[in-house]
Chain A
Amino acid sequence: MTANIPKVDLPLLEKGSSLSQDAIARLRRNKVGMASFYFLLLLILIAAVTPWIAPYTYDAQNLALGAAPPSADHWLGTDTLGRDQLTRIMYGSRVSLMVGFIATAVALTIGVLWGAIAGFLGGRVDAVMMRIVDALYALPFTIFIILLTVIFGSSMLLLFLAIGAVEWLTMARIVRGQVLTIKRQEFVEAAISMGLSPWRIISRHLIPNVLGPVIVYTTLTIPSVILLESFLSFLGLGIQPPASSWGSLISGGVETMEEYPWLLIFPGLVLTMTLFSLNFLGDGLRDALDPRASKD
């Protein structure tokens, strides 16, 4: 049968063969998105090398100096104990970025898979899986955290687990809702009638098509996780003074904002810039992953 097909020279194929490669190419053309990406990369780099480049140590006190406004010695000022604020923000970014990205990654992975599987399989499986989500939702968050601390003591790992355990619930619901509408579309039915395995249908046909809302929700989750960390630290789970995080710096700064405004302004500014970058990058990623968004 193949014999009677005239042999045509293979034309040169356009570059980019998969969605991810195309997406990277498209993202590169998005200037705001790329700028945000590089800003975040810079933050992560600084966080990684902080112990070697920080001007002071995070717990070095200068009680004689006390809370001082920005100066040549202390670019971003010092706190009430005379600790260098720039140093504390740099050390804080290690905790905050790690919590933000890792806890969100945990939530993302569990939530997307859970929601996609429940939505695609439907029926009783869906009912059981979503009731589990409901049950966890119903658990009061504060009590849940206190219980965890009582049982396991306080540690960074537990912090990630606790936050991830809460944040994936909403993700699972969003993804399930999207999957329910997408699985009725004919291209999914076509995939079923092609004899593809459920796992392949979920990973190749469903998940790529729910990425839009997932990415938007992810960029909203990272900042809320970063702030959640300060609440958890307050409850005794997570980091303890004198270690710092953006969340704890901001909540500390709020208490003294009338006397020493720089203690609130600088950590707040860093957090805000991070959030902006995340949002721009998220928007860029969403457009880049959608082939229907303009090609040029």
Chain B
Amino acid sequence: MTSEKLLSVENLRVLFNTRNGQTVAVENLSFSLEAGKVLGIVGESGSGKSVACYALMGLIPSPPGKIETGRALFHGKDLLQMSEAELRHTRGHKIAMIFQDPMTSLNPYMRIADQLIEVLLQHKKITKRAAREKSITALMEVGIQDAAKRIDEYPHQFSGGMRQRVMIAMALLAEPEILIADEPTTALDVTVQAQILALIKGLQKNHNLAVIFITHDLGVAAQMADDVLVMEKGRLVEQGTTETIFKNPTQDYTKKLLNAVLTSAKPVNSFAKRDEAPLLEVKNLQVGYASHSGSFFSRVKKFTRGVDNVNIRLYRGEILGLVGESGSGKSTLGRSIIRLIDAQSGELIFNGKNLLDLSPANLTDMRRDIQMIFQDPYASLNPRMTVFDTLAEPLLVHGLATQATVLDQVNELMDDVGLDRRFIRKYPHEFSGGQRQRIAIARAISLKPKLIVADEPVSALDVTIRAQILALLLELTQKHNLTMLFISHDMSVVRYLCDRVVVMQKGRLVEEGETEKLFSAPEQEYTRQLLAAIPTL
């Protein structure tokens, strides 16, 4: 293979004009891409990794964005100087892109066939019939079974992984030379992620594609890329072959990123009290979603099982991991424990009382003892309430504070979660994702609950922030003697944090065991699949 430079980017600088002045999104970035190679661009959110690639495709909204300097030579032509018409021809035809969220990147009102054929008709002189044939072949190539039939279906009839396959087929239809993949597997389950990564790798070899693979996940980068480029705050930190970057990083930031990857296991927990009665016992729990049909007066309820006959024991002082892929019912189970969703049958024995039998008044009292930390720190805080109001509200409502003491108590909570006390008059949007999650954690522990249900609390966060938040959770559970149900799809996080693990699949409990035992000797096939799908360095 020749090491011909297909694309070379020099001194790229991208600005955004905001109300508060200019923000430099990409500063003086240079890199090159060789034909048939995979270049991984790694960085945390805000590092400019996506902006850089969007700039190459002419997809930066301008204004407010502005490409100030730089060249991007592709076949001797500068992409940044091209006219809109030339660019349109290059986009899709020569350089194709796949996006992060397969749920929103397909038009829900168009059949798959029409969306694929549209691409072909745009870029090739081809009849409709031939375009359809070609589209079916492309779908078969990305592993969609029964492609000739499924091509006439709508996007909602495909699962997330399948949609991403369709997106890849669409990207490859016009036979591009470069494929830009922007976090293509971030929104997918681990086992699906493993399949999609293998698919991209295979296609890249077969078509001799050059791929720019943007990701925040070092494990994925290590698995996919030949060369890696590490970015931080718009600047290039380090670049080199994948092996050198991961084995001998020279820059501090790269080392920090690598250290944030959780490889260690949790030290044995001495707080868990297994010999006592469990704090929470879930017995034969059935949770379903009711969907209504029929008229106002004769409603027909249809149930879809979300959680099917699940039994779990949670002992005081332990952190129980609940893992599974999306649709496994793990979140439904978590939400039914804090009574956000009603269970159909079964028992939830908490501290000796069945939560499902409580009267509304008793339930309000019980809510103090069970709190939840949500996945999305951007959605879980009321945007119109200051941090002080958010944290003071539960304290005042439950009578744990008076107007005189509430400020001190809120300040203590801020100390607990490692936030500066001066921030309490600020609104949520003034904080970063990690800081917001700290506020959400402070709110959850404000009522001094006995049990915390944490639903994917770190999956929306960057790797280095993730490590900090996990350390905080660990510290707080020990300090306040908390019991936690930790829901996650990320096996490495679970291994770092949890004492025991429960694996769920399609609403049922598949396997249960001590963390280390389960990781080293999984008994069930599904658990083995989950573990095998973790990308490792």
Closest Cβ of chain A to B442, distance in Å, is 12
Q: Which residue of A lies closest to B415 (CB)?
A: A5
Contact with B along A104-130 (1 / 0, CB 8 A): 000000000000000000000001000
- The answer to whether A193 and B367 touch (CB under 8 A), given A19-B384, A186-B375, A289-B384, is yes
Are A192 and B340 touching (Cβ within 8 A)? Answer: yes
Interface stretch of the complex, out of A7-15, A162-170, A276-284: A7-15
A209 within 8 A of B: yes
Measured between beta carbons, the chain B residues less than 8 angstroms from A292 are 383, 427, 429
- CB nearest neighbor in B for A18: B389
A19 to chain B: closest residue by CB: B384
A205 close to B (CB within 8 Å):
yes
CA A186 – CA B424 in complex, angstroms?
21
> Among A14, A18, A195, which residue has its beta carbon within 8 angstroms of that of B397?
A195
Is the beta-carbon distance between B296 and A127 smaller than 8 angstroms? yes
Taken residue by residue from 335 to 355, chain B's Cβ proximity to chain A (1 for < 8 Å, 0 otherwise) reads as 100111000000000000000
Complex Cα distance, B339 from A192, in Å, reads 9
Task: Report yes or no: A291 in contact with B429, Cβ–Cβ below 8 A.
Answer: yes
Q: Is the CB of B424 within 8 A of A13?
A: yes
- Whether B386 lies near A17 (C-beta < 8 A) is yes
In the complex, B372 has a CB within 8 A of chain A: yes
A200 at the interface (CB under 8 A from B): yes
Contact B381 A187 (CB under 8 A): yes
Tell me if A204 counts as interface (CB < 8 A to partner B): yes
Check A209/B383 contact, CB under 8 A, given A14-B425, A190-B440: yes
B379 near A187: Cβ-Cβ < 8 Å: yes
B53 to nearest A CB, angstroms?
Answer: 28
Least CB distance from A209 to B in Å reads: 6
- Residues 242-296 (chain A) with a chain B CB within 8 angstroms: 289-292, 294-295
Measured between beta carbons, the chain B residues less than 8 angstroms from A294 are: 19-20
List residues 407-424 of chain B with CB under 8 A from any CB of chain A.
407, 411-412, 415-416, 421-422, 424
B381, B383, B398, B430: which has the most chain A beta carbons within 10 Å?
B383
Q: Given that A209-B383, A289-B384 are contacting pairs, would A190 and B372 also be in contact in the complex, using a CB cutoff of 8 Å? A: yes
Residue-by-residue, is B420-450 near A (CB-CB < 8 Å gives 1, otherwise 0)? Answer: 0110110101100000000010010001000
Q: Given the interface contacts A8-B421, A186-B374, A292-B427, does A195 sit within 8 Å of B384 by beta carbon?
A: no
Residues from chain A with Cβ under 8 Å of B338 in the complex: 193
Residues of B within 8 A of A290 (CB): 383-384
Also in contact, A8 and B415, with CB within 8 A (given A13-B424, A189-B372, A291-B429): yes
Give complex CA distance A10, B416 in Å: 15
Cα separation A187 to B412 with both chains bound (whole Å): 22
In the bound complex, what is the Cα–Cα distance between A2 and B416 (angstroms)?
10
Chain B residues contacting A291 (CB-CB under 8 Å) are 383-384, 427, 429
> Is A42 interfacial (CB-CB < 8 Å)?
no
- Whether A194 lies near B425 (C-beta < 8 A) is no
Interface contact A193-B340, CB-CB below 8 Å: yes
Q: How large is the interface on B (under 10, 10 to 19, 20 to 34, 35 or more residues)?
A: 35 or more
Count: A-B pairs, CB below 8 Å:
109
Q: Mark A172-212, 1 if CB is under 8 A from B, else 0.
A: 00000000000001110111111111001000110011000
Chain B residue with minimal CB distance to A205?
B382
A10, B370: Cβ atoms under 8 Å?
no
Q: Which of B364, B384, B411, B425 contacts A16 (CB 8 A)?
A: B425
Over the window 441-465 of chain B, the binary record of Cβ atoms lying under 8 Å from chain A Cβ atoms (1 yes, 0 no) is 0010001000000000000000000
Give min CB distance, B72 to chain A, whole Å.
33
Residue of B nearest to A296 (CB): B20
Interface core residue of A2, A194, A205, A291 (most chain B CB under 10 Å): A194
A290 CA / B429 CA spacing, docked (Å): 11
B364, A189: Cβ atoms closer than 8 Å = no
Please name all residues of chain B whose beta carbon is closer than 8 Å to the beta carbon of A131 when the two chains form the complex.
296
B447 touches A194 (CB 8 A): yes
Task: Give complex CA distance A205, B379 in Å.
Answer: 12
The residues of A that contact B397 with a CB separation of less than 8 Å are 194-197, 200
Q: How far is the CA of A17 from the CA of B381 in the complex (A)?
A: 17
Contact between A209 and B371, CB atoms less than 8 A apart = no
A14 to B430, CA, bound (A): 14
B126 located at the interface, meaning its Cβ lies under 8 Å from any Cβ of chain A in the complex: no
**Which residue from A13, A187, A200 sits with its C-beta under 8 Å from B380?**
A187
- The reply on B394 being an interface residue by CB < 8 A is yes
Interface positions, chain A 202-249, Cβ under 8 Å from B, are: 204-205, 208-209
B-side contacts of A11, CB under 8 Å: 421-422
| CB nearest neighbor in A for B444 | A190
Is B133 engaged at the interface, CB distance under 8 Å to the other chain? no
Q: Which residue on B lies nearest to A9, using beta carbons? A: B421
Q: B511 interface residue, CB < 8 Å from A?
A: no
The answer to the question of B365 belonging to the interface, with a C-beta cut-off of 8 Å to chain A, is: yes
A200–B365 Cα distance when bound, in Å, is 16
Interface contact B340-A189, CB-CB below 8 Å? yes
On chain A, the residues within 8 Å of B430 by CB distance are 295
Q: Which residues of A contact B372 (CB under 8 A)?
A: 189-190, 193
Q: How far is the CB of B477 from chain A (nearest CB, A)?
A: 14
Contact A13 B340 (CB under 8 A): no
CA distance A12 to B252 in the complex (A): 36
Shortest distance from the beta carbon of B412 to any chain A beta carbon, whole Å: 5
B395 to chain A, nearest CB (A): 10
Q: How many angstroms between the C-alpha atoms of A262 and B278 in the bound complex?
A: 84
Complex Cα spacing A189 to B421, Å: 26
Residues of chain B contacted by A289 (CB below 8 angstroms): 384
Residues on A with C-beta less than 8 A from B368 are 195
Q: Which residues of A contact B339 (CB under 8 A)?
A: 193
* B226 / chain A contacts, CB cutoff of 8 Å: none
Offer 7 A-B interface pairs, CB within 8 angstroms, sorted by A. Answer: A8-B411, A10-B407, A18-B389, A19-B385, A189-B374, A209-B383, A294-B19
Interface residues of B (CB under 8 A from A): 19-20, 296, 335, 338-340, 363-368, 370-372, 374-376, 379-386, 388-389, 393-394, 397-398, 407, 411-412, 415-416, 421-422, 424-425, 427, 429-430, 440, 443, 447, 480
Q: Which residues of A contact B (CB under 8 A)?
A: 1-2, 5-6, 8, 10-11, 13-14, 16-19, 127, 131, 185-187, 189-197, 200, 204-205, 208-209, 289-292, 294-295
Given A190-B372, A196-B393, A209-B383, list of 9 further CB < 8 A pairs? A11-B422, A185-B379, A185-B380, A194-B367, A194-B371, A194-B394, A197-B397, A291-B429, A292-B427
